[in-house]
Amino acid sequence: MDDLSALVDARPHADRRAREAALSRALALLHDSAAHATQRMQAAAALAGAAASPCRCQLLVSERSSEGGDFPPHLFIAKRWFPLVLAVRSRADGAGWAMTLLPSEAGPRSSAVTRYSRSATSLVLKGVDG
Amino acid sequence: MEEGVRVSHFFPVDSPAELVSRAPVLPPENCLLFGPLRCGKTTLLFTFAANAAAACSAARSVVLCRRSAVEASPPLLPPERAPPGALARVDMKCAAGGLRSARDVEGNANNMRRAGTSLTTMSFAAGAPAATCWAASQRALPWTT
């Protein structure tokens, strides 16, 4: 799903609390939908005679960082639904972007930094550090 | 995708092999990707969807998005840099008015109408797979940099 906030804000919200509730509902819906799709795929594979199905529906959601901030405004809510959080930030030298995996409470994660930049027609993988 | 996904899956298939092999592997879990405006989030997402659809012939990806946003700033994935045949298995779906029920995602038209939500497959020419039309349309749309 592209731009979670834009979808949540497609309907008006009375206040911050109402918006947070809408965001939580949207995330719960997406999470349940992905789990449901996984169950259906695995059931279909089992019916077809597959011993152990590797099928899985993976959910990937993009979100904007807040203006002037490094993080989305409601990251604390989103983290409940996403074991993995990838952050894209502008590189200090101004030469493109850097993608990193945020640390998780579940255990150590890769600290590698993936660098990329935009060309006129595509994104270009520039390097992997660490 | 049970074995995990390389971060290189966010980039075109013709990225340098040496960088692809060094890219970290993500566990097969749900993922949030965030970043500032203009950092290429939509392109990263769309490229990931195309690469996931290319994983095997039965794989399929669905991209939920706002039509106005992607038309104003299309993802930067020229068809020739996408995995062969993968774009035909990527469906672009637009949710106007937000999501209300799980049926929105399932795409059941009757229930969507009942919920007052419009969820339509983005198509640029009737009868053709959406992603194929999408890929073809990119040539006609101005690039946004």
Q: pLDDT class for B96, splitting at 50, 70, 90? A: low
- Beta-strand pair A123-129/B5-6: unpaired
Q: Look at residue B136 and tell me whether its pLDDT is greater than 70.
A: no
Chain A nearest-CA residue for B99: A26
Contacting residues for A25 by C-beta, under 8 A, at least 6 apart: none
pLDDT digits (tens, 9 = 90+) for A15-37: 889 989 989 988 998 898 888 88
What rounded mean pLDDT belongs to chain A? Answer: 86
Residues on chain B touching A6 (C-beta within 8 angstroms) = 66, 69
ipTM of the complex: 0.91
Instruction: Give the per-residue pLDDT at B1.
Output: 42
Spatial CA neighbour of B119 closest among B103, B134, B137, B135: B103
Instruction: Give the per-residue pLDDT at A41.
Output: 84
**A18-to-A15, A72, B24 alpha-carbon distances in Å:** 5, 17, 37
Residue bearing the bigger pLDDT, B19 or B129: B19
Q: Look at residue A112 and tell me whether its pLDDT is greater than 60.
A: yes
Is the separation of the CB atoms in A28 and A9 below 8 Å?
A: no
> Given an 8 Å threshold on Cβ–Cβ distance, is A84 in contact with B106?
no
Instruction: Give the per-residue pLDDT at A107.
Output: 63
Q: How far is A69 from chain B (nearest CA, A)?
A: 9
pLDDT digits (tens, 9 = 90+) for B101-115: 433 444 433 333 333
